[in-house]
Amino acid sequence: MNGPEILIPLVLGTLGIMTVLIPIVGLTARFALKPIVEAIARMREAQAGSTGRELGVLEQRVALLEQQYQQLDTTVDRLAEMKDFDRQLTSGDK
């Protein structure tokens, strides 16, 4: 037997074996990897949940900062008005 005559049975035997082994390997991989994939999915969901809580806390902090800024802005405006009033009193202007 020379090259091509040996190659044909070898290719046919390999294809026959692969026809049976590929589904077996696929099922084995599915059952072996399923717990790992589920664990990764749970971990990502937990991270997403904690990110949502952190985002809520940050939103509350920003709202408080905005409120404090508005109060500070109001106080500065009132101080400026009082300073102008005091200046008008001391200078004698009406």
Per-residue pLDDT of the chain (94 residues; tens, 9 = 90+): 566 788 888 889 999 999 999 999 988 988 888 999 999 999 888 877 777 778 888 899 999 999 999 999 999 999 999 999 999 999 875 5
CA pair distance 93, 19, nearest whole angstrom: 103
Containing 79, the helix (H) or strand (E) segment is: helix 3-91
pLDDT for 17: 92
pLDDT for 46: 81
What was the pLDDT predicted at 5?
84
Q: What is the pLDDT of residue 39?
A: 92
How far is the CA of 81 from the CAs of 53, 71, 75, in angstroms? 42, 15, 10
Quote the pLDDT of residue 59.
92
pLDDT of residue 93: 58
Number of other CB atoms surrounding residue 62 within 10 Å: 10
